[in-house]
């Protein structure tokens, strides 16, 4: 999409289009730049759903994401972006946490005779590595 969409090619869309008593009803009027409209059309065709259904599902999903993220103190996409210093500080904290988990895993592997406990410890290490990778990619 271009940085400055051409306003003369804006497209009118409706979030909900349905028939009621034989009449077409349209709710949730909005204007979209043609590039976004084309993208929504391409995606809706690929999913074999209408654009209005796709838009409703996107909005519903975002509302759920926003509410859940806000409830656990996560990012809502509209928070101020982190500074490089904040991100570096978080990376350091993640690194320290990772070291601690690896040390605990070593201790559990050498001291525990239970295969279930050893397996659980290994799973925690894998999960911590996954979280570390996700965090590395989110600035």
Give me the tens of pLDDT residue by residue for the chain, a chain 139 residues long.
556 555 667 788 777 777 888 888 887 787 888 888 889 999 999 999 988 888 888 888 888 988 888 888 777 777 677 777 887 888 888 889 889 999 999 999 999 999 999 999 999 999 988 888 877 765 4
Strand (E) or helix (H) holding 86? helix 84-111
CA distances (Å), origin 124, targets 15, 89, 128, 132:
43, 23, 6, 12
CB 59 within 8 A of CB 15: yes
| pLDDT computed for residue 44 by the predictor | 92
pLDDT at 5: 55
- pLDDT, one tens digit per residue, over 36-72 is 888 999 999 999 998 888 888 888 888 898 888 888 8
Pair 32, 40: CB distance under 8 Å: yes
Question: What was the pLDDT predicted at 138?
Answer: 59
pLDDT of residue 119: 92
Burial of 33 (0-12, 13-18, 19+ CB in 10 A): middle
First to last CA, the chain: 23
- List residues bridging with 23 in a β-sheet: 20
Could you count the other beta carbons within 10 Å of the beta carbon of residue 52? Answer: 19
* pLDDT of amino acid 3: 62
């Amino acid at each position: 999409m271009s940085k400055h969409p051409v306003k003369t090619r804006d497209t009118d869309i409706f979030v909900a289009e349905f028939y009621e008593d034989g009449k077409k009803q349209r709710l949730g009027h909005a204007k979209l730049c043609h590039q976004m409209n084309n993208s929504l059309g391409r995606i809706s065709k690929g999913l074999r759903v209408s654009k209005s259904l796709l838009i409703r599902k996107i909005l519903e999903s975002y509302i759920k994401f926003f509410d859940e993220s806000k409830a656990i103190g996560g990012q809502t996409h509209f928070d101020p972006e982190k500074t490089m210093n904040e991100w570096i500080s978080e990376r350091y904290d993640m690194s320290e946490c990772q070291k601690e988990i690896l040390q605990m895993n070593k201790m559990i592997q050498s001291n525990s005779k239970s295969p279930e406990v050893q397996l659980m410890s290994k799973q925690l290490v894998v999960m911590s590595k996954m979280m570390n990778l996700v965090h590395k990619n989110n600035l």
